[in-house]
Structures are given as C-alpha cells and as structure tokens.
C-alpha cells in the first residue's frame, strides 16, 4: 500500500470535481461525481431520473424484526420479481466470510432471521442476473431494529455504445528514477440497462515497460486484473449511472524527456492530467490545452484537462509527454561518491600499520555531521533560488573533497 503514497498526494490535493477551479474540492471526501448534465450518479429512464441510491438501498426499519433482514427485489418498473435467487454475505470482524442464499416469494421478498446485531459483523445483499451483479451497500444491524433492502433487478446488455468516460484523473509524480502514476476513471452508463463487459474483459493498454501495476478495489461490480506486459483487464458489469475504477503503476525514466500513452477501451469526454511541477518540468497531453501551474498547500502542480462534453474529435488515448526532467539529485551523487570513498578508506586501512595515534571518535563523528549538515543547507539555498546551480555544485564538490580527506586521515 505504500506505493500509493506519492500518487495519493496528488489525488488528495487535486480531487476530481469538474468545477471552474481544478482544486475546488473538499479534502478527504469521497470521489465527487462529474458536474455535467448526465455525468452523475443517476440512471436516465425516459423523462424521469432514478438515482443509484434508489436502485440499490439498505436502511434500518422498525417494520423488520430485530436481527432480521428483509430483501425485496423489483424490476425497473417497481414490480416484484418472484423466484429471484438472493445471496446475503456476512463478514465478521475477524475477516471470515459466510454466505446465505434463498429465493424471493410472490411479493419479491425474502427474510433472513436470527442474525447477529452490533458492530462485530457487516452484511451485504445482492443477486446475479444474466452476467451482472446487483447488490446493496454494506451495513450493520442495529440492536433495536431490523433492516430493509431494496434491489432493482435491471435488464442487461452487452452493447457498449452507452458507455463513456466522463471524468477521472491521471496523476504523475516525477521521481529521480521513475514516474509513479495513479489513474482513476469515471465510467458513465448512460442507458437504462446494466452493461455486462465481455467475458474476456476489456483492456486498458498501459505504456511499454510499465511495472508494479496495483489495481484498487472497486466498490461496484468491476474486477481489475493484470494481463502481463499489456495492461489492465476490466471485467464485470456497470449499473446505469457512474462507476469508478482506479489503479497505479510505475514507469522508468531514461533521459530528460519521456513520452507514454494509455489506451482506453471507451471514448473519453472529460479528463484531467496532473503532474508535480519542479525546476522547469513541462507537461503536454495530446488534444488537451496547454498545462497551467496551480499552487495548492505549498505545492506546485501542472494541470491540463478537457471538460465533459468537449466538441473535439473522440479521444481514446491519453498521449502524455513529460519534459525537462532533471537527473538524479546532486545529493544522491554524494551518496555514491561517499560509498566509493568509504570503500577506499577500507582498502587503505587494511594496509595501514596498526601502530600510531587514532583521532578522537567523537570529533570524527561531529566533523562528519557538520559536513553533511552543510550539504543539506546548500541544497535548501539552491532550491530557494538563493544560490546558483554553478555555485552550489562547486560548494558540494568542496564538501566532498573535505569529507574524503577526513575519512582517509582516520
């Protein structure tokens, strides 16, 4: 999970709301829904709008006995579905998962009784139908009431024409040796049926040479896995409305510029690309505007985006170029040189006579600390633009010389 830390900083700072200001989003909140007409967590049904929450809901009910869960299954018109096989997942605090199954009666209902209440276990109800899974949000049973779960069983389709990417973000953290890339995608099913992905899945083709792919668990019926050397495979289904998937991967850096692309299986109508900005770093994305610099909480970011519903030609591939990448930091070269010097000191010590006075170990340690502290101070001055790169490198070279002489004198 630590591999998510750098991209997560970008997620935290940038957010996902499509507002006039790219960072106008409440910190620590769940991913916002796209701020466009149909890019929301809604399913369009004729002239009416049905929210995702009303399609699958779970709430405490005084009409249901304590320790019981009543699940009702209806179709899109609200008519009861009899004979539907419903599963109830029970997950206890120890991570043990159990499952109960049963079929709905003529009223489309089934009740599970004698269940444990309180916070030591969680429940989730759902059903499978023609390749799609419909399930409630997870919940815990209160001590004074039961729970009522409502599930709309929709018809399914494999026609992907109603699926578009209406939002999301590609977050790039430029390190010394690699790019750490985190990606989220907001998928909109703009139809009235649940879309079932092909059994073989759909491929998000990642850049050549990527490594360390880590899919993030999905809250919906989307399953992410890796196809070695190719990218990310998505299987499962998409309810009407918005669904989110996310993943991260690394990309090695070679040289001062790197270009890569991520090929999406659906048309992109709205998206954002963000990179940490430092020392003249540049960001270009094909078919997107010139990146602008945005400051947030003391950090500088390069940001470019297209708004949902943009009128350009369809976008299926994110083509990104990062330029003016600095090589490994000078302090890193210090570490390399220091390692070499220590090796040299070891060789000299091996052939040195054991006779002779030795320096005070505490004085040696203090001198080393002073040299390293000075190196850190020089870097801070350089980063604050109070010291030129040329003077910085000369000063660091002098410290390296002093450090090597000091170590050999020991």
CA–CA dist 111, 70 (Å, integer): 4
Q: In order of start, what are the domains of the chain with their CATH numbers? A: 2-32+159-323 (2.60.40), 47-153 (2.60.40.1120), 330-409 (no CATH)
pLDDT tens string 242-300: 999 999 999 999 888 999 999 999 999 999 999 988 778 899 999 999 999 998 777 88
Residue 33 buriedness (CB in 10 A; 0-12 / 13-18 / 19+) = buried
pLDDT tens string 73-127: 999 899 999 999 999 999 988 888 999 999 999 999 999 999 999 999 999 999 9
CA angle 196, 150, 136 (to 5 degrees): 55
CA–CA dist 170, 181 (Å, integer): 7
As a whole number of Å, the CA-based R_g of the chain is: 29
- Cβ–Cβ < 8 Å for 76, 49: no
The pTM of the full predicted model, rounded to 2 decimals, is 0.68
């Amino acid at each position: 999970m630590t591999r998510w830390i750098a991209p997560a900083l970008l997620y935290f700072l940038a957010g996902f709301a499509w507002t006039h200001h790219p960072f106008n989003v409440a910190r620590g909140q769940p991913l916002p829904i796209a701020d466009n007409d149909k890019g929301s967590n809604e399913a369009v049904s004729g002239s009416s709008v049905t929210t995702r929450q009303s399609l699958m809901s779970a709430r405490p009910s005084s009409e249901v006995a304590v320790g019981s869960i009543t699940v009702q299954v209806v179709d899109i018109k609200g008519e009861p579905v009899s004979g539907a096989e419903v599963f109830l997942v029970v997950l206890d605090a120890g991570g043990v998962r159990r499952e109960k199954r049963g079929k709905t009666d003529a009223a489309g209902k089934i009740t599970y009784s004698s269940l444990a209440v309180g916070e030591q276990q969680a429940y989730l109800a759902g059903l499978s139908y023609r390749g799609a899974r419909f399930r409630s949000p997870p919940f815990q049973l209160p001590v004074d009431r039961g729970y009522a779960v409502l599930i709309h069983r929709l018809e399914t389709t494999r026609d992907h024409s109603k699926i578009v990417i209406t939002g999301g973000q590609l977050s790039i953290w430029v390190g010394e040796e690699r790019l750490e890339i985190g990606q989220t995608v907001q998928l909109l099913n703009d139809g009235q049926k649940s879309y079932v992905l092909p059994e073989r899945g759909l491929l998000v083709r990642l850049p050549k040479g990527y490594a360390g792919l880590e899919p993030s668990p999905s809250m919906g019926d989307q399953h992410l896995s890796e196809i070695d050397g190719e990218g990310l495979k998505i299987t499962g289904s998409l309810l009407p409305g918005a669904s989110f998937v996310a993943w991260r991967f690394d990309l090695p850096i070679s040289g001062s510029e790197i270009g890569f692309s991520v090929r999406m299986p659906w048309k992109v109508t709205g998206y954002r690309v963000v990179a940490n900005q430092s020392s003249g770093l540049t960001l270009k994305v094909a078919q997107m505007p010139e990146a602008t610099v945005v400051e947030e909480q003391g950090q500088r970011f390069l940001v470019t985006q297209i708004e949902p519903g943009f009128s350009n030609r369809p976008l299926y591939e994110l083509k990104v170029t990062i330029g003016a990448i600095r090589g490994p930091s000078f302090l890193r070269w210090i570490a390399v040189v220091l390692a070499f010097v220590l090796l040299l000191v070891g060789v000299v010590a091996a052939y040195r006579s054991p006779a002779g006075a030795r320096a005070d170990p505490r004085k040696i340690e203090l001198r080393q600390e002073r040299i390293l502290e000075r190196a850190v101070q020089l870097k801070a001055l350089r980063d604050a633009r109070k010291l030129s790169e040329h003077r910085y490198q000369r000063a660091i070279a002098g410290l390296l010389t002093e450090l090597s002489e000091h170590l050999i004198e020991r």
